[in-house]
Amino acid sequence: MAVPGITEDELALIRSVVLLRFIRRILDRDARILEESGVLKSPELYTGIIRGAERRASLVQHEIMAEFQKRRIKFLRLTQDEHGIEAEYLCRGYGGAIKMLWPVLRSEISSRIRAYLGSGSTSFPETPLSEPTMI
């Protein structure tokens, strides 16, 4: 649904809030699994990194919610089915909705989680590097 006068920036804010909800849940779940697994020798090292990413995502979400208040945007409901999700919102009194398909969501969530973890989009080589030369 198109909302009269809504800007691309406002739609991006709404989309970000939806993504951040998923990101925070995923990071929390992953940290809990690492903490409870008993498999790692030092799980606190890894969970600390994940919890830091979770805090960064939380801060961004709070900033966006403050921007929502300024722009009179209210997040109403999030529904999901086998195709993707639909987020309903109010913007200056007008109701609207955005839909996102699962493949797009997964890709965007993965990219943003990398950024919050601090690895950005850097990919690591799949082949081992050559041995260092001794001098």
Q: Is 127 exposed, middle or buried (0-12, 13-18, 19+ CB in 10 A)?
A: exposed
Strand partners, 95: 90
pLDDT of residue 127: 40
pLDDT of residue 120: 54
Alpha-carbon dihedral of residues 66, 72, 75, 76, nearest 10 degrees? Answer: 150
pLDDT in tens, 94-129: 999 999 999 999 999 999 999 999 865 445 444 443
Find, among 118, 121, 124, the residue nearest to 50 by Cα.
118
CB-CB contact of 98 with 88 (8 Å): no
Cα 116 from Cα 14, distance rounded (Å): 19
pLDDT of residue 56: 95
Q: Model-level pTM?
A: 0.81
